[in-house]
Homo-oligomer: A and B are copies of this chain.
Amino acid sequence: MIAADDILTRIRTQKPVVHHLTNWVTIYDCAQILKSIGASPVMAHAPEEVADMVGIASALVLNIGTLTSDFVDAMKVAACAANQKGIPVVLDACGVGATPFRDQKALELLTAARINIIKGNASEIARLAGRQVTTKGVDAAEVKDNLQELASTLSGQFSAVVVITGREDLVTDGRKSYRVANGHELMTSVVGTGCMAASVIGAFAAVEADWSLAAACALADYGIAAELAAMHSAGPAAFKQQLFDSFYSLTSAIIRERVRIATATA
């Protein structure tokens, strides 16, 4: 039995600090989604302080959406500090495949430190796994490969949990896999729903040591909040507001009623 409600309850009780080095587009939303679920987000990127900030954090979330070389250098410092402390490091491979620079920097991050959870849409993960992709910037492009195989390949390569978001989300740690069917199509009309997913995964992994389970439950709960939000939304902006608020007041009963996580052997 997967405890998607239990992990959320732990977040609300423990209020884990989740340190971010993220992009300037959705930085507010990454913080607010965590605040909405009871976690304590902190955003800081000065190279002089990122290691210390990791020192008070229970998870680290990296997002390269608006990366620069210096910013990625600070990410490396933070990730190494997180590795030493043993807290989970999530990488949102935002926009990988769009430019060679982005691909290179993502790979630098993956080799400079241990990234525990790699998250992307289908084309981002395909690119990280070495496939050629044609992307449209930060939006997912079509990928012909078998996604489960792609995820397993990448997972094995970096000993990481791999998360592919999409109509159905896929999570694998190389041994066990999950498919999460929660969510709503309106998410694709809102900037930042992918980034927020990575932040939520970070918060779940902060309080649950089984990181693939944590990621699957994070995506399920987030998707359920989105389903509830979509019920009363005239468009993407109303939907986003409701997403924060439905996640804020999400109950264990509703989670147990709506959760759609399927398990499988990888």
A residues within 8 Å of B by Cβ?
15, 17, 19, 23-29, 31-32, 35-36, 40-46, 48-49, 52-53, 56-57, 65-69, 95, 98-102, 135-139, 189-192, 234-238, 240-246, 248-249
Given contacts A28-B28, A99-B44, A101-B49, contact A36 B237 (CB under 8 A): yes
Contact B236 A246 (CB under 8 A): no
Q: Which of the listed residues A17, A42, A100, A249 has the most CB atoms from chain B within 10 Å of its own CB? A: A42
Contact B46 A101 (CB under 8 A): yes
Q: Which residue of B lies closest to A43 (CB)?
A: B25
A213 to chain B, nearest CB (A): 25
A145 to chain B, nearest CB (A): 21
Q: With a CB–CB cut-off of 8 A, which chain B residues contact A240?
A: 237
Bound form: Cα–Cα A238–B95 in Å: 30
A74 to chain B, nearest CB (A): 9
Bound form: Cα–Cα A111–B31 in Å: 31
Bound form: Cα–Cα A153–B3 in Å: 49
Q: With a CB–CB cut-off of 8 A, which chain B residues contact A248?
A: 189, 235-237
Given contacts A235-B249, A238-B241, A238-B245, contact A99 B49 (CB under 8 A): yes
Main secondary structure of the interface of A (DSSP, over half): mixed
Given contacts A56-B98, A137-B53, A245-B234, contact A69 B48 (CB under 8 A): yes
Contact B136 A36 (CB under 8 A): no
Contacting residue for A31 out of B17, B100, B191, B237, CB 8 A: B191
Q: With a CB–CB cut-off of 8 A, which chain B residues contact A29?
A: 28
Contacting residue for A44 out of B36, B46, B66, B242, CB 8 A: B66
Besides the known contacts A25-B27, A46-B68, 13 further A-B residue pairs in the complex with CB atoms under 8 A apart = A28-B29, A31-B191, A35-B236, A36-B237, A40-B138, A42-B138, A44-B66, A46-B67, A53-B137, A56-B137, A189-B248, A236-B245, A237-B240
Contact B57 A137 (CB under 8 A): yes
Q: Which residue of B lies closest to A19 (CB)?
A: B137
Contacting residue for A32 out of B32, B138, B191, CB 8 A: B191
A8 to chain B, nearest CB (A): 15
Bound form: Cα–Cα A27–B41 in Å: 16
Q: With a CB–CB cut-off of 8 A, which chain B residues contact A19?
A: 137
Bound form: Cα–Cα A236–B225 in Å: 14
Q: With a CB–CB cut-off of 8 A, which chain B residues contact A237?
A: 32, 36, 240-245, 248
